Each structure stands twice: as structure tokens, then as C-alpha cells.
Amino acid sequence: MNSPKLIEVEYYPDGEQSPFPDPNERKWVFETHEDFKSWVHGYVCIHCLVDFASIYNKTPTTLRDWLDTGCGCEIGVTDVDAAINWEDTMVLPDSFEQELDDYQQMMADAFARHG
């Protein structure tokens, strides 16, 4: 017996040449929230998490936050059975704080040069 399609993700951009996701693969189906969440951990890049923190002045802690900007804007999510808990807590990469600090310093330096 086949399992129902609980969560389907479709990748939108045409001609994308980035190494992940595979440009030849445009759809993924997940049977559980945990499978989807695990995929999101691997899909969303550190730069998009830093962008989120910079734009909203808060740490991206929920699944909703992780898919709010950048990488998250490239996909459509269909949640047939309402299996996704969008407020579920995500684990940030170990390098997040350093990447955010580096970005903020770069912006401060640019502002000082051109301010």
C-alpha cells in the first residue's frame, strides 16, 4: 500500500546552476514533518539565514523563519495533510553567529567608508 503524499516541495527557478538542489530534480515528496524539516536543514544556506537575521533583526529560529527569505523563496510547499509545524524550532549551523558578526562588520565598514 502506498503512503499518502503528505508534503510536496517544488523547486521554481529555471536554469539554476547551484549544486543543491540538483537542477535536474524539481520535486520532492516527504511523508513526515521530520523528513521535511531535515531536508530544510540541508537546503537553506547560511547566507539566507544571515539575511533573515539582518532584515528582521532577529534570529531565524522556526521552520517558518528558515523558509522566509532567499532559499525559501525558491520553493513552493504543498502540505496536503497539514503535517508541517511551521513554529517548530530549528537548529542553527555552528557558524551562524560568526557569519552574522562578519556580515554586520562588513556592513559597518562599508557604511563608514561611504557614510
Q: Of 5-9, 18-22, 23-27, which one has max mean pLDDT?
A: 5-9
Structural domain contains residue 2: no
Task: Report the interhelical angle of 96-114 vs 46-56 (nearest 10°).
Answer: 60
Q: Could you read off the pLDDT of 28-55 as tens digits, one per residue?
A: 999 999 999 999 999 999 999 999 999 9
Structural domain contains residue 100: yes
Structural domain contains residue 43: yes
Confidence class for position 17, pLDDT limits 50, 70, 90 = very low
Structural domain contains residue 84: yes
Structural domain contains residue 95: yes
Number of domains in the chain: 1
Separation between Cα atoms, residue 3 and residue 110, nearest integer Å: 53
Supply the range of the domain harboring residue 66: 7-114
Structural element, H or E, at residue 105: helix 96-114
Structural domain contains residue 33: yes
